[in-house]
Amino acid sequence: MPKGEIRTVCKIDFDKPADQQTCLHNRWHPDIPFAGTIKDGETVKIECIDWTGGQIKNDDCADDIKNIDLTKPHYLSGPFEIEGAQPGDILLVEIMDVQPFPDRPWGFTGIFDRRNGGGFLDEIYPSAAKAIWDFEGIYATSRHIPHVKFAGLIHPGILGCAPSAELLATWNKREGELIAANRLDRDVALPPQPINVHAGSADGELKAKIGREGARTIPGRPEHGGNCDIKNLSRGSKVYLPVHVPGAKFSVGDLHFSQGDGEISFCGAIEMAGIITINFKVIKDGMAKMGLKSPIYIPGPVEPQFGPGRYIYFEGFSVDEHGKQHYMDVTTAYRQTTLRCIEYLRRFGYDDYQSYLLLSCAPVQGHVAGIVDIPNACTTLGLPMDIFDFDISPAAAAALGEKGTGLDMGRCAFESGKTEGVVDREAGKNSEFSFGGGLTYKQ
Amino acid sequence: MPKGEIRTVCKIDFDKPADQQTCLHNRWHPDIPFAGTIKDGETVKIECIDWTGGQIKNDDCADDIKNIDLTKPHYLSGPFEIEGAQPGDILLVEIMDVQPFPDRPWGFTGIFDRRNGGGFLDEIYPSAAKAIWDFEGIYATSRHIPHVKFAGLIHPGILGCAPSAELLATWNKREGELIAANRLDRDVALPPQPINVHAGSADGELKAKIGREGARTIPGRPEHGGNCDIKNLSRGSKVYLPVHVPGAKFSVGDLHFSQGDGEISFCGAIEMAGIITINFKVIKDGMAKMGLKSPIYIPGPVEPQFGPGRYIYFEGFSVDEHGKQHYMDVTTAYRQTTLRCIEYLRRFGYDDYQSYLLLSCAPVQGHVAGIVDIPNACTTLGLPMDIFDFDISPAAAAALGEKGTGLDMGRCAFESGKTEGVVDREAGKNSEFSFGGGLTYKQ
Amino acid sequence: MPKGEIRTVCKIDFDKPADQQTCLHNRWHPDIPFAGTIKDGETVKIECIDWTGGQIKNDDCADDIKNIDLTKPHYLSGPFEIEGAQPGDILLVEIMDVQPFPDRPWGFTGIFDRRNGGGFLDEIYPSAAKAIWDFEGIYATSRHIPHVKFAGLIHPGILGCAPSAELLATWNKREGELIAANRLDRDVALPPQPINVHAGSADGELKAKIGREGARTIPGRPEHGGNCDIKNLSRGSKVYLPVHVPGAKFSVGDLHFSQGDGEISFCGAIEMAGIITINFKVIKDGMAKMGLKSPIYIPGPVEPQFGPGRYIYFEGFSVDEHGKQHYMDVTTAYRQTTLRCIEYLRRFGYDDYQSYLLLSCAPVQGHVAGIVDIPNACTTLGLPMDIFDFDISPAAAAALGEKGTGLDMGRCAFESGKTEGVVDREAGKNSEFSFGGGLTYKQ
Amino acid sequence: MPKGEIRTVCKIDFDKPADQQTCLHNRWHPDIPFAGTIKDGETVKIECIDWTGGQIKNDDCADDIKNIDLTKPHYLSGPFEIEGAQPGDILLVEIMDVQPFPDRPWGFTGIFDRRNGGGFLDEIYPSAAKAIWDFEGIYATSRHIPHVKFAGLIHPGILGCAPSAELLATWNKREGELIAANRLDRDVALPPQPINVHAGSADGELKAKIGREGARTIPGRPEHGGNCDIKNLSRGSKVYLPVHVPGAKFSVGDLHFSQGDGEISFCGAIEMAGIITINFKVIKDGMAKMGLKSPIYIPGPVEPQFGPGRYIYFEGFSVDEHGKQHYMDVTTAYRQTTLRCIEYLRRFGYDDYQSYLLLSCAPVQGHVAGIVDIPNACTTLGLPMDIFDFDISPAAAAALGEKGTGLDMGRCAFESGKTEGVVDREAGKNSEFSFGGGLTYKQ
């Protein structure tokens, strides 16, 4: 009894706007109509558009990044009915494969303008920038970040089941309180946004309701996962997802050819359109049986492997770039860790914006190291040396003389007319992001 | 020309108090006298006492943990003069080996009392607790956490060079400002502490000065590393350390047989006395040549390896155990991640305190996953399934019926007269540390 | 400057016989006309038919295996002209990807009848048998070998450049001498075979000449590689191939979804049609510069990884199944090693033919262990435990009682009308392939 | 209840000849008296002398290798009584650790003279040679093979339980038949050797009997393992050994700091004296329950790991160095594979004898690749690039000009008065071990 070809449950039409395709949607809401039905135990292919819905072009100018309309993303494929799934069940999602479309072998990494999206280091790097990546089989390279090639740790940035009405209300309340209390000069969360709502096949009042209530797809959330952006949730992974509504209403999207831990530039993975192949199984009453409040997962077996001795690990602590001591703040520590790496890469000729893009999308390892030694949290970031086609080891760094590597590192894409991004040295004060006032020893 | 036996530059006398041994010290200060001299290029053995200086006993009662004197630790071996090292150089430290003493094949993991030390989860688990670990070659087991065995990812929790007077002043100012601004009902940093100062061979006014000014060893600090508690800085690792004073004044200690990312219970690694073998090389003018503001390192090649598919990864987000939404707070996210794992292990019969201890010291992988999707940071924690001698897979969890595993999980050590620790359910509100108000579905 | 879609240089037409497709051929000969041209530095896709040219069906009967026409295989795609390549150069072949055709998600593993092809264990297992494998993304499963699933270590069994006329003459002489000296009751090599020659677009006298002289594709050969069947030459691998004729005349085929070390049943990999993506680079004068007499390669980074502790290793020595001592014979040792594994798997309910098929195609590790301790060579075979969905560990084996696993292991496909294969216990004498006369201890 | 220090059951006295130490022996025989008793479940330390019993010196002359007395080795520690073990049981041996003696941090690798011991490549390299290795923690380096450093994959070359009288008779008959039939101009097996017998505490007639009947320790044998020389049987490994006599009579020795697959130069590992820590468990009736005819093992978790892309793999086929075609001969194929690697290393300045020594002891991976494509078996040998402190990649090889690497590679130790070894170019005919008559292309 030969098995046949695997069924495709969602087809993307690249000649049509994303918001006219009924198997896509861009909000989390229990009332978005099913986009299709999948059997318990079935394996299907699901086509996905890139998270922006096609706003970004394969060119050498970052205007599209700078002017992106962030009321639209993410466009997700679904929601799908998984036969038999009921609230309280666990949906076991096994990712059998993720691939780009054969005729669209490219993706993009972007740094958003600080005033439109921003990112983890936007106080220091406020400009928009972009790198285009070309795919050849398992490998990606970029004309905007030369001398780098790496195998994709390909994965979906988003997967999850729809919230129940009760859970959605919890989300809106919880995030609304944060917004209400906000004293920062930046958005801290995104409330429901009726503009540019795409609710699949819903229209009229139902669509309007979804717009008023529907949760944005930007953050991941503990009760269902969603936009968790876990780089290792790649081919072969098994994810255990809580089910909150009858039929599960599973959605997936935001495919990444590769991502580094943190996805620091926000549009930071190698974002792409592609095809994900998934097997679905329902574990009846799994939430109670397994005691899960958030998703868990088991990685697949085919991650790129470099050997531990092929990483350079950078260390960062919760003292910020102004020399200010924070209390056990892992976020601050990780920011410092990424800055240490950007500084290191400078001596090989990379521009800071190139490195910021690279750390966002290359398979860098971000670890919590020490989290109890007051007042300093410590984190580490592992940069694989083998993604570069020249030697970036500490020994090579120490041996570099005045002449540097002699390699042409080109530049990434900036907004029209610009050939470099702004570095806000005041924000990254004390020259070169140093802390503690410029320790420089002369002998 | 045969090489001879490797020289030992610091010998521990276990019959003498730690503060009477002149090759030990417990503060960071540039004026602590050299405890010995090591040549550029030399490999030496350095004996180290456990970080508490011998306060903890190999028994089944946690009174020693509860009543620990935290003005004393860490006792470090050194400071050693590295010949030729000058401020601005980088000291390349290659860790050739770390071993426990053959006649002291044991270590301890402790949870400090919330009022004396505390830890990452002390609001929920305020009691003192302890687990003793026995070493047989590469493996550790504990009578206090049965059915677990793992190979040590053995490493020093602390290594670094002494600060200059200028750098020490920066530290004291920076941390003093945090202390001055503190509104929390807990210590946020530890100022210099003249009590129980041990300054090596220094005494009299010099010792008093070191007590007044010397930085505590508890936190790691960006400019020199120190107590970074990086679990992968194990056998074979190369660390690049900034030098701030003539001769480097290198110190090392706080040896760990094993540790999990975060070392969450504070006394959380498997703490031990032992012997570290190190090769030292000086990279002249390395700070400028390599552009290092914080240490970097390259891991060694002999880390225990399980295969990616042998980890269960737990996900956590920056919504706390009271259901409150935090803004991009990785610390909160990692706390939730650890709680998800503790909840999971309950169904196999482990007490929360056992799991808290286990996550502190077993080689769990703590990753920053997504750090840009406002308002939720997402972190993951990977628990290796193969350290258990029974099946803890999600499939096993789902299949467990009323009877559980049938295994006797014993208990960890608590203070005298107690057989269990306190769980503050009010702190971990909404019962069982849930967020969002008890999502429970019945069918 | 966006890169476009990757060019496909050879398209397979599944509606046409293999020997009517001019971009295929089935002999090695310098005069086979070019099937296309590829630039130095170019990446192309090359479609390949399965090695038998479509003789094997996706069904449950092994008649096709039993009656296979072995004068036909292998059908290779090519030969391609690599622009600029000259004799003495090295062709650097980087395997960017290998994939099955999306609409043909299956492959086969066969055991040939001893009288038509045979295999490594044909004296003991002389019957034809077959297993069909279904592909879902990175994973393969088989209805003929239940309870097994594994990620493919996908690779080409054959790649190489055409021999020069001189080299071809050397091959024919060398193998002809072996055939002439043969005293065994079996073929020891295959001379040129004019029947069923397919020489690409050549016909008439040229085709006849190729038939008379052309080397068979069955063996790999040291000077060019060819059918080396190296399982780890998978995605991301770089192979350095000697060039013997102008334009290189590169051919590739015999795609395998997976294979075990040794490919022991001959048709032993998971054989499939598929698409290989390759980047080509010419290293001028590389043979002299690099001193290569045979190909070398560097594996890619995405091999499935299980962790060393997730393999059971079987040991075998050069004492054969009749108890006869051989002198340093690795071939005999490896045969014993595979038999030890087959015996082990019996207790979990697998039939010997199923295990023989499984060891041929699953990613088992075959190592030379000791090769100098006269008279016994020792080899090992590592079986990954995680490809089974039940516990096959030694602890599980020891715990199995009379009832066994209780799992239904089904059966593989045999010739029509047969439900099991022959086991020649006389050939595998002393029953159960034992050596040394039945060591059985009763207590 | 603290556990105490681990008991040592065999102490080596380096001031006394090996054959005067009653816990050592150098033959396999069921009547060698017990050297000590170990409980079922106990972990003990066992000290071991190097396999030659101390014949090799830490100096720069290979006379000791050339003149070694091979009637003496191996000196094994034991045999130990394992309480409760009976014929038919399986002894589960878990290797908790292997370490050199702290005050003897060195080992040796030797190439035996062709007329006294020989080795895998002795027809081409007939001279005696030696390299001394110095240990610093996990790493070994050699003054005789500069610019190489690697972490030890430390293991015992020999472990096993004594044969029963019946099994011993089988061995002697089986190997005696091979000797009787020998037509080669070299030893093919070693019969019992009454000279230099060391039978532990046995003397008089018992010792004489053991000398007449006792099996030599050189070969491993399928029924008990013995000298299997499996490099990955390192720290953390579990070995399942058949028991043939009451009390098991377990012996262990031939400790290796490191070894490559094949241990090709015979005295090819880094041979050392040291201490092995083992846990013993008896599996009652295990041979029948588990169906084991030869040992099986599960590797430990702490093997050095380089990443697959950090190996260069050499390919070899069963065409010998005289251009002669052999039939499916893996032994020949592996010999060619090692020669390809030696040739490759020449261009970096290593002498063939240095490379022969290096391939014997460094952690090279020897794989059976294809074993069914008549007439050519194919094997591969993976050389880890990261054990060299300079770049040996194919790219580096291709880029090397006339000047080479510029590094001083020194030389290994030869017999007194000699500074180089003989290369028998007639044996490795057709110049430089080529096959097929000197394929050299000029353009």
**So what's the pLDDT on residue D263?**
93
- The residue written with tokens 């210590």 in the block is B187
CA distances from B238 to A309, B255, B274, D389 (A): 9, 16, 19, 14
Answer whether B267's CB lies under 8 Å from B62's CB.
no
Which residues of chain B from 27 to 66 reach within 8 Å of chain D, CB to CB?
43, 58-60
Which are the contacts of D402, defined by CB distance < 8 A and separation ≥ 6?
none
Alpha-carbon gap, residue C215 to D298, rounded angstroms: 43
- From the list D87, D261, D296, the residue facing C314 with the nearest CB is D296
Task: Please tell me the predicted confidence (pLDDT) of residue D39.
Answer: 98
Distance (Å, whole) CA B205 – CA B210: 8
pLDDT in tens, A124-159: 999 999 999 999 999 999 999 999 999 999 999 999
Longest dimension (CA), chain B: 79
What pLDDT was estimated at residue A1? 64
Phi, psi of D219, rounded to the nearest 5 degrees: -85, 150
Rounded CA gap, D200 and D30, in Å? 12
CB contact under 8 Å between D434 and C293, yes or no, is: yes
Confidence of residue B213 (pLDDT cuts 50, 70, 90): very high
Does residue D331 sit at the C interface (CB-CB below 8 Å)? yes
Would the CB atoms of B139 and D236 count as touching at under 8 Å?
yes
The closest of D94, D135, D419 to D270, measured between CA atoms, is: D135
Instruction: State both tokens at D390.
Output: 């300079």
d(CA D5, CA D2): 10
* C-alpha–C-alpha distance, residues C335 and C435, integer Å: 13
Using DSSP, state whether C195 is helix, strand or coil: coil
| Minimum-distance CB partner of C386 among B305, B309, B391 | B309
Q: pLDDT tens track of chain D, all 443 residues? A: 677 789 999 999 999 999 999 999 999 999 999 999 999 999 999 999 999 999 999 999 999 999 999 999 999 999 999 999 999 999 999 999 999 999 999 999 999 999 999 999 999 999 999 999 999 999 999 999 999 999 999 999 999 999 999 999 999 999 999 999 999 888 999 999 999 999 999 999 999 999 999 999 999 999 999 999 999 999 999 999 999 999 999 999 999 999 999 999 999 999 999 999 999 999 999 999 998 999 999 999 999 999 999 999 999 999 999 999 999 999 999 999 999 999 999 999 999 999 999 999 999 999 999 999 999 999 999 999 999 999 999 999 999 877 788 999 999 999 999 999 999 877 765 445 444 444 556 54
Confirm if D269 and D229 have CB atoms less than 8 A apart.
yes
Where do the domains of chain D lie?
7-298, 308-399
In the DSSP assignment, the letter for residue D234 is -
C-alpha angle C404-C410-C414 in degrees, rounded to nearest 5: 130
Q: Check C6 against A136: CB less than 8 A apart.
A: yes
* DSSP conformational letter for A328: S
Q: Peptide bond before A79: cis, by omega within 30 degrees of 0?
A: yes
Residues of chain D in contact with residue B6, where contact means CB-CB under 8 angstroms, are 102, 105, 136
pLDDT of the residue at B431: 43
Helix, coil or strand: residue C63: helix
Q: Is A106 helix (H, G, I), strand (E, B) or coil?
A: strand
- The verdict on C204 touching A (C-beta cutoff 8 Å) is no
For A68-119, how does the pLDDT look when each residue is reduced to its tens digit (9 = 90+)?
999 999 999 999 999 999 999 999 999 999 999 999 999 999 999 999 999 9
Chain D residues close to A391, C-beta within 8 Å: 391
Q: Work out the minimum CA distance from B305 to partner chain C, whole angstroms.
A: 6
- The rounded distance, in Å, linking the Cα atoms of D4 and B136 is 11
What is residue B2's predicted lDDT score, i.e. its pLDDT? 72
Residue type at D210? Answer: I
Domain covering A7-292: architecture:
Sandwich (2.60)
Dihedral (Cα; A252, A257, A259, A265), 10-degree rounding: -90
Neighbours of C317 (CB within 10 A): 30
Judge whether B237 and B298 are in contact, CB under 8 Å.
Answer: yes
Cα–Cα–Cα angle for C246, C251, C253, nearest 5°? 175
Chain D: give the shortest CA distance to residue C385, in Å: 10
C-alpha–C-alpha distance, residues A339 and A342, integer Å: 5
B235: pLDDT strictly greater than 90? yes
Element (H, E) at C325: none
Peptide bond into C219 cis (omega under 30): no
Best residue of A139, A310, A311, A390 to probe chain D, by most D CBs closer than 10 Å = A310
* Res D435: pLDDT: 43
Q: Is the dihedral of CA C99, C101, C104, C109 positive or negative?
A: negative
Q: Which of A174, A213, A175 is nearest to A194 (CA)?
A: A213
Within 211-250 of C, beta carbons closer than 8 Å to D belong to 218-223, 225, 227-232, 236, 238, 240, 242-244
Question: What would the two tokens of residue B377 be?
Answer: 């940071």
Give the C-alpha separation, C407 to C388, whole Å: 12
Residues A241-294: pLDDT tens digits? 999 999 999 999 999 999 999 999 999 999 999 999 999 999 999 999 998 999
Q: How far is CA A338 from the centre of its chain?
A: 16
For D149, nearest residue in chain B (alpha carbons): B236
Which residues of A are less than 8 Å from B297 in CB distance?
312-313, 315
The predicted complex's ipTM stands at: 0.94
pLDDT at D130: 97
Q: For B182-199, how does the pLDDT look when each residue is reduced to its tens digit (9 = 90+)?
A: 998 889 999 999 999 999
Assign C152 to helix, strand or coil.
coil
Out of B5, B106, B143, name the one closest to residue D102 (CB).
Answer: B5
C-alpha separations of C105 from A255, C51, C132, C141, D17 in Å: 23, 16, 11, 11, 67
Going by C-alpha positions, the residue among C187, C130, C151 that lies closest to residue C356 is C130
D185's CB contacts (< 8 A; 6+ apart) are: none
Residue D73 to residue A333: CA distance in whole angstroms = 58
Using a 10 angstrom Cβ sphere, with 0-12 exposed, 13-18 middle and 19 or more buried, the burial of residue A115 is exposed
Q: At what angle do helices C352-361 and C330-346 cross, to 10 degrees?
A: 120
Low-confidence ranges of chain C (pLDDT < 70): 1, 427-443
- Tokens in use for D432? 């430089």
φ, ψ of residue D334 in degrees (nearest 5): -70, -35
Hey, what are B140's tokens? Answer: 């550790």
Query: Is D308-399 CATH 3.40.640.10?
Result: no
- The Cα-based distances of D441 to C174, C284, C296, D404 in angstroms read 21, 11, 19, 22
| Calpha distance D200→D185 (Å, rounded) | 34
d(CA C96, CA C301): 11
Rounded to the nearest angstrom, the gap between the alpha carbon of residue C377 and the centroid of all alpha carbons in its chain is 24
Measured between CA atoms, the residue of chain A closest to residue C134 is A3
Report whether pLDDT(A433) > 60: no
**pLDDT at A205 > cutoff 50:** yes
Contact, C140 vs C270, CB < 8 A?
Answer: yes
Cβ count within 10 A of residue C160? 31
Helix spans in A197-323 (H): 204-213, 286-290
Is B367 within 8 Å of A367 (Cβ atoms)? yes
Minimal CA–CA distance to C387: which of C130, C133, C58? C133
Q: What is the pLDDT of residues A373-417, one digit of tens each?
A: 999 999 999 999 999 999 999 999 999 877 788 999 999 999 999
Q: Which of B373, B382, B138 is nearest to B260 (CA)?
A: B382
- To the nearest whole angstrom, how far is the Cα of B262 from the nearest Cα of chain D? 22
CA distances from A234 to A107, A156, B380, C427 (A): 17, 7, 14, 47
Nearest to B216 by CA among B17, B110, B76, B78: B76
- The hierarchical CATH code for the domain C7-298 is 2.60.120.580
Taking an 8 Å cut-off on Cβ atoms, the answer to whether C434 and D293 are in contact is: yes
Is-contact C209 C263, C-beta < 8 A?
A: no
